[in-house]
Structure 1
Amino acid sequence: MTGLRRLLAAAAFTASGTVAMAEARDISILSFGDLDGWAEDDHHAALEVFRSTCMDLDAPDWRTLCTLAADAADARAYFELFFAPVLIRDGAEPLFTGYFEPELRAAAEPDEVYRYPVYRVPPELGDVPWLTRREIEESGILADRGLEIGWVSDPVELFFLQIQGSGRLRMADGRVVRLGYGGANGRPYSSIGQELVKRGIYEPHQVSADVIRSWVRRNPDDGQDLLWTNDSYVFFREIGEVPLSKGPLGAMNRSITAGRSVAVDPSIVPLGAPVWLEKDGADPMRRLMVAQDTGSAIKGAQRADIFYGTGRRAGLEAGRIRDGGRMVVLLPIQRAWALLPETV
């Protein structure tokens, strides 16, 4: 799973399986004909992804639809027959971004090149806020305790690995160690891109992951100070049960799928639900996806993070995504209509 993302993986449903809609201001039910590009999408690909996690949905209506999904021969007809498209707005501007699973070169032991440790969870980490990123790194409190999973060569790449919350270490001996989110220090996440804008170094439209990397490497002292402005620190665990051919674990503890899995705000969009995404920008996307992940920065009815895959190419693609558009949630029909306010 995308690590800081697990911080938002609190229950998306009440005991009865109802989505929390208290903050949503505007809810409307659309027709499938209202969805731009719906007829042209690969609905079967989306159905396969939906099947991979729908068995984890507890509410009776979701369980029934999951059972029916197993035998659905016509994917488009399945979605159109059993779901209703629900548009939820909360007054905030829509924002769609991208994330990925990093892959870093690493070593099992430190040397002059591989000097930055990737840590597993320390035993004293509890539920209350612990040391900040600066305090952890300046104090050396984690050093020489056998908590190192591996060592990497670049502190900026390690920082972004923590932001993504999962990844792979390609070890010098040829092994690939898969990392999953293990825990965090309980401190709030803050964007270093926004900090660069606040300091007057860049305009908002200029900031990207590559721009941040280059600036920190050109300015090592100020760059270290910039990284420390994000108090949050993520720890990892080794994941051996997920084949390398599959994606990392999402908030539902299942592998997510590049181009079909999306991170959402689970207080509004139920984890496991299909969502229709109309992302604008230089690379428009009209696609049926599945809400299988969360993120600390993913808050709001029209906020989503698209999973782009593993490795540098996926990272470059994900890093340039910051677009508007529209997201529509597909809900079981009765559940969808129950969201509308009663009229006198």
Structure 2
Amino acid sequence: MVHHTMNTSNTSAPSASSNSKVMAGRSGGGSGWRGWLAACIVGSLLVACSSGPMPPRAPVDVPGAVDTGPLPPALQRGKSLWTPVRWSELPGWGQDSLHEAWNAWLRGCEKPVAGHAGLCAEARPLAIATPDEQRAWIERRFQPYRVVEPNGSLPQGLLTGYYEPILGASRLPSASHRTPLYAPPAGLRAGQPWYSRKDIDTLPAAQAALQGKAIAWLADPIDALILQIQGSGRLDITEPDGRQRQVRVAFAAHNGQPYQSVGRWLLDQGAIREASWEAIKTWAVQNPRRLNEMLWSNPRTVFFREEVLSELDARFGPRGAQGVPLTPGRSIAVDPQSIPYGTPVWLATQGSALNQQKLVLAQDTGGAIVGAVRADLFTGWGGWTDPAYQLAGKLKQPLQLWALWPR
């Protein structure tokens, strides 16, 4: 999933992945069929079910039993250094509802990081284990490492949020729905610049190349811009026969032009005081003649592919860069040169939007997600008034990260 953080003053360009930034990022004990069926009945564990019974539950140790003895050496990553710590050093360890993260973990096990396949086999039956059993297994099988700068210094980390917008759309253009969402045009080449956003709106050659490529049409061009920045979204779409259904549009490609923040453009002109989407929309309503000027300040355009949204798909977010569906509140976008995809991570943050210490999974990336202690939390999906958007829009606060790596 390719996305930008909800911080609309960001000027970094997104990187391509299987996906926003979002996203951009899916998924036993007991014996025989009875234990398997019990897991399937529990809605939150639905994705952990397969066509047969799970293996017996892995043995667990007493919590805290492995928090002694010598620590292993530090691990050097491309953009970070991992320094080993004891479990007792993780703030809030033992207080998280680990079962809420287990689905995200099992979804990550669909495409496990190298060396994790065996651990995934052990993790599956633990989906219905007790919190103490889950915690004891993690402590026994993983070593926590504090993620710091490559030179060993402690950075002031940054946590932001992203989400999957839900927008009304029409399959055909109309007087009210005039902003298209396009599939990739023929001749588009990765890494090579194509027509800019302004070119697409004004040049006949660009418009000819996109003829017949419109997936759907939106009423608000800023909503289209938001969808492109998030990298994925859901459309409540009206078909030509009047039927309505919900589909997902996911990142397919971009036009190879640099990303520029329209929020930054407005701030630099003194047009707004804060780079929020509410402020940007208000300015656009008040300055309709300058709307295109603002939109064209960002030359990048994103192209989408349409995906069927099944009942099961609707319970998770879009696929992130790891190639697995994202789990609200438990999937994060990271810099893969600092933390590999699929890594379980202990996250600690305190601020006006969120005060949490919890287990999350590194399952996505984004153009603004660069450096050692940098993460974007996938908050879910919804419209302008829904909690997912509200949290993603407000989240910009200090961050600490600990990577959990197999012993």
| TM-score normalized with structure 2 length | 0.74
Cα distance in 1 for residues equivalent to 2:207 and 2:324: 30
Is the contact made by 1:122 and 1:142 (CA closer than 8 Å) also made in structure 2? no
Q: Which amino acid aligns with 1:197?
A: L
Residue 79 in 1 paired to residue 134 in 2? no
Aligned to 2:170: 107
Residue correspondences, number: 321
Aligned to 2:369: 298
Q: Secondary structure at the match of 1:40?
A: coil
Q: Which amino acid aligns with 2:91?
A: D
Aligned to 1:51: 106
Which residue, out of 191, 213, 216, partners 1:147?
213
Aligned to 2:359: 288
Q: How many Å apart are 1:271 and its aligned residue?
A: 0.6
Q: 1:6/1:77 Cα in 2 relative to 1: closer, same or farther (>3 Å)?
A: farther
**Aligned pairs (5 A) from 1:1-344:** 1-3=1-3, 7=16, 21-24=77-80, 26-59=81-114, 61-72=115-126, 73=129, 74-90=133-149, 93-127=156-190, 128-139=192-203, 141-142=206-207, 145-172=211-238, 173-203=243-273, 206-240=274-308, 243-282=313-352, 283-312=354-383, 313=386, 314-333=388-407
Is the contact made by 2:113 and 2:343 (CA closer than 8 Å) also made in structure 1? no
Q: 1:31/1:224 Cα in 2 relative to 1: closer, same or farther (>3 Å)?
A: farther
Is the contact made by 2:334 and 2:366 (CA closer than 8 Å) also made in structure 1? yes
Q: 1:195/1:79 Cα in 2 relative to 1: closer, same or farther (>3 Å)?
A: farther
Is the contact made by 1:3 and 1:234 (CA closer than 8 Å) also made in structure 2? no
Q: How many Å apart are 1:3 and its aligned residue?
A: 4.8
Aligned to 1:342: none
Q: 1:305/1:42 Cα in 2 relative to 1: closer, same or farther (>3 Å)?
A: same
Cα distance in 2 for residues equivalent to 1:151 and 1:78: 49
Q: Secondary structure at the match of 2:77?
A: coil
Is the contact made by 2:188 and 2:194 (CA closer than 8 Å) also made in structure 1? yes
Is the contact made by 2:247 and 2:309 (CA closer than 8 Å) also made in structure 1? no
Cα distance in 2 for residues equivalent to 1:208 and 1:217: 14
Q: How many Å apart are 1:253 and its aligned residue?
A: 2.2
Q: What are the superposed Cα offsets for residues 49-68 of structure 1, whole Å, 9 maximum, x if unpaired? A: 11111241252x21221122
Aligned to 1:341: none
Q: What are the superposed Cα offsets for residues 146-178 of structure 1, whole Å, 9 maximum, x if unpaired? A: 111111000000000000111111113311121
Is the contact made by 2:218 and 2:224 (CA closer than 8 Å) also made in structure 1? yes
Q: What are the superposed Cα offsets for residues 70-91 of structure 1, whole Å, 9 maximum, x if unpaired? A: 2333221222111122222226
Q: Secondary structure at the match of 1:84?
A: strand
Q: How many Å apart are 1:6 and its aligned residue?
A: 5.2
Q: Highest CA radius of gyration, 1 or 2?
A: 2
Cα distance in 2 for residues equivalent to 1:272 and 1:247: 16
Cα distance in 2 for residues equivalent to 1:299 and 1:231: 22
Q: How many Å apart are 1:21 and its aligned residue?
A: 1.7
Is the contact made by 1:85 and 1:331 (CA closer than 8 Å) also made in structure 2? yes
Cα distance in 1 for residues equivalent to 2:376 and 2:79: 20
Q: Which amino acid aligns with 1:200?
A: G
Aligned to 2:41: none
- Runs (5+) with no aligned partner, structure 2: 5-13, 20-74
Q: How many Å apart are 1:291 and its aligned residue?
A: 0.8
Cα distance in 2 for residues equivalent to 1:221 and 1:328: 49
Q: Which amino acid aligns with 1:142?
A: Q
Is the contact made by 2:261 and 2:298 (CA closer than 8 Å) also made in structure 1? yes
- Runs (5+) with no aligned partner, structure 1: 11-18, 334-344
| TM-score normalized with structure 1 length | 0.86
Q: 1:249/1:20 Cα in 2 relative to 1: closer, same or farther (>3 Å)?
A: farther
Q: 1:222/1:62 Cα in 2 relative to 1: closer, same or farther (>3 Å)?
A: same
Is the contact made by 1:273 and 1:329 (CA closer than 8 Å) also made in structure 2? yes
Cα distance in 1 for residues equivalent to 2:282 and 2:144: 42
The CA RMSD measured in Å over matched residues stands at 2.2
